[in-house]
Chains A and B, each alone.
Chain A
Amino acid sequence: MEIIKGQKIEKHLCEQHATQEGLTKAVHTPINELLTNFVKVQSGAVTGTGELICDNCGMKFTEFRENSLLGCPQCYIAFEQALTPLLERAQEGASHHVGKVPSRAGTGEQRQQLLLRLRKRLSEAVASEDYELAARLRDDLQRFEEPQP
């Protein structure tokens, strides 16, 4: 066991140390973990007072604790660590979905991220009256929203 998984355990220790020391991550981090961490960094942030906040919609974790409603799909990523124990308590200890998967889920997550960002940039462009950019973004959005074959 140790021999077989020896390398993996070693790597995990390295990662932990690296994180503790504030150094960069080990090189062999699986790609999906990298992506998840990337998304975490992208969408989760901490305010000046050390409060968790969702970068996408501005929802604070304390607001969620007050009314039990999250602000947007990204909140699940931004608050993942704080949410997980709460979810497990509410859901009989479950921590993963079992059941129906939408047929268009294949590239779903990436598309969702992309759509979210494009929409955000679009409203910023409209707000700053940059109509040229807005038109381009709208075209992009339309293209991505077409059902995929």
Chain B
Amino acid sequence: MSLRQITDHAGEWLRGAGPHNEIVISSRIRLARNIAGFPFVNRANRRQRHDVLKRCQDILMSGRISQDVLWVDLVDSNELDRLLLVERHIISRQHATGGTDLPRAVALDASETFAVMVNEEDHMRIQVLRSGMQLSEAFEQINHIDDALEAKLDYAYSPRWGYLTACPTNLGSGIRVSVMLHLPALKLTGEIDKVRRAARDMHLAIRGLFGEGSEALGDLYQVSNQTTLGRSEQEILHDFEHTIVPQIIAYEQQARQALVRQRAAQLDDKIWRAWAILTNARIISSEEVFGLLSHIRLGVNLGRLNTVDIRAINELFLMTQPAHLQKITGKEMERPARQEARATLIRQRLGIR
């Protein structure tokens, strides 16, 4: 398997399948783990980083976790490939840029359901990503991977503090549970701020598509736990599955129904204008595309627009981003050229001549 093979289709998380997929785009769990006997990454010298990398590579590529694992050395790879992995949510922006040529890598499986970043902030950041609301399945998978790794590696762990991490905000279980939600109706009705406040009170973080500091492009929000110490993995999962996510889904659905009942003309106007621009634009930025795709996605889910299927819309969220666009068209482009190529790609994908 190579990076080239994964470019032309949406990753597992954008497949648009899975329970509650009209609102829950994806479920993600990640575990922060460090290997005992080494300093954390920020304090490790080149040789120590290399040693950590080698150990992780040996076990990750041994076939124990999965038969088909792709190892991407991020120092050797080019900038476009690294950005591609960021867009697919396989690695963080921090891991892509690194700012240095210090040893770091990522291992991912063919279906992109799991990925392990090596030498990011912690020695290992293990992640499982699935479509729709599938937190239990994701946890089962990641727990299995963690067990397999742990059978061969000594994790930095203390009975009092749990899994030891470079940043104490990950200390304890080292688990970050996160769901990506599409909340266009809450945004349109202005109720999203209520959700933000409620989330804050529950010690949850709400972020945009690309995590910390990023705007909620395309009305896509990531909700994740902030507390990692003193609560078991099961308790955190239970909260997400039985309280947090069902509640936000219910709010979004109420807002959608309210729009249909009270402001149908305005709603349809938004949806069809989005369609009109996307299918006719000749120059377009990815920010604008995100906003338009969000309204079209809402229109499809509410049955008010049936000129396109949801899968094509989900894929466009990914394919129109800068690295994907350049990979698909096969040429490196500056921003103005990308905006033109983006408009063309959208028309092609939507079957417009």
Q: Is B168 in contact with A145, judged by CB distance below 8 angstroms?
A: no
Q: Is B37 in contact with A98, judged by CB distance below 8 angstroms?
A: no
Q: Is B43 in contact with A86, judged by CB distance below 8 angstroms?
A: no
Neighbouring B residues of A73 by C-beta, 8 Å: 34, 36, 40, 156, 158, 164
**Given A94-B172, A97-B159, A69 contacting B232 (CB threshold 8 A):** no
Please report the total number of B residues contacting A with Cβ < 8 Å.
44
**Given A103-B150, A109-B159, A112-B36, A87 contacting B171 (CB threshold 8 A):** yes
Neighbouring B residues of A136 by C-beta, 8 Å: none
Neighbouring B residues of A109 by C-beta, 8 Å: 157-159
Distance in angstroms from A115 CB to nearest chain B CB is 4
Q: Is B158 in contact with A76, judged by CB distance below 8 angstroms?
A: yes
Neighbouring B residues of A57 by C-beta, 8 Å: 39, 43
Residue of A nearest to B33 (CB): A102
Residues in A59-73 with C-beta less than 8 Å from chain B? 59, 67-73
Q: Which residue, B40, B152, B169, has most C-beta atoms of chain A within 10 A?
A: B40
Q: Is B230 in contact with A104, judged by CB distance below 8 angstroms?
A: no
Q: Is A97 in contact with B173, judged by CB distance below 8 angstroms?
A: yes
Neighbouring A residues of B233 by C-beta, 8 Å: 99-100
Q: Is B159 in contact with A105, judged by CB distance below 8 angstroms?
A: yes
Asked if A17 is at the interface (CB within 8 A of a chain B CB), the reply is no
In the complex, A59→B172 CA distance in Å?
Answer: 21
Asked if A91 is at the interface (CB within 8 A of a chain B CB), the reply is yes
Asked if A96 is at the interface (CB within 8 A of a chain B CB), the reply is yes
In the complex, A111→B37 CA distance in Å?
Answer: 9
Report, as a range, how many residues of chain A touch the other chain.
35 or more
Residue of A nearest to B155 (CB): A102
In the complex, A101→B233 CA distance in Å?
Answer: 11
Q: Is B166 in contact with A70, judged by CB distance below 8 angstroms?
A: yes
Neighbouring A residues of B155 by C-beta, 8 Å: 102, 104, 108
Q: Is A102 in contact with B150, judged by CB distance below 8 angstroms?
A: yes
Neighbouring A residues of B152 by C-beta, 8 Å: 147
Neighbouring B residues of A96 by C-beta, 8 Å: 160-161, 229-230
**Given A91-B227, A94-B231, A72 contacting B173 (CB threshold 8 A):** no
In the complex, A73→B43 CA distance in Å?
Answer: 11
A-B contact pairs, 26 of them (CB 8 A): A57-B39, A57-B43, A72-B40, A72-B43, A73-B34, A73-B36, A76-B161, A90-B169, A91-B171, A91-B228, A94-B229, A97-B160, A97-B161, A97-B173, A98-B230, A99-B162, A99-B172, A99-B173, A99-B232, A100-B232, A101-B157, A103-B151, A104-B154, A105-B157, A109-B157, A112-B157
Question: A residues engaging B (CB < 8 A)?
Answer: 56-59, 67-73, 76, 83, 86-87, 90-105, 108-109, 111-112, 115-116, 118-119, 145, 147
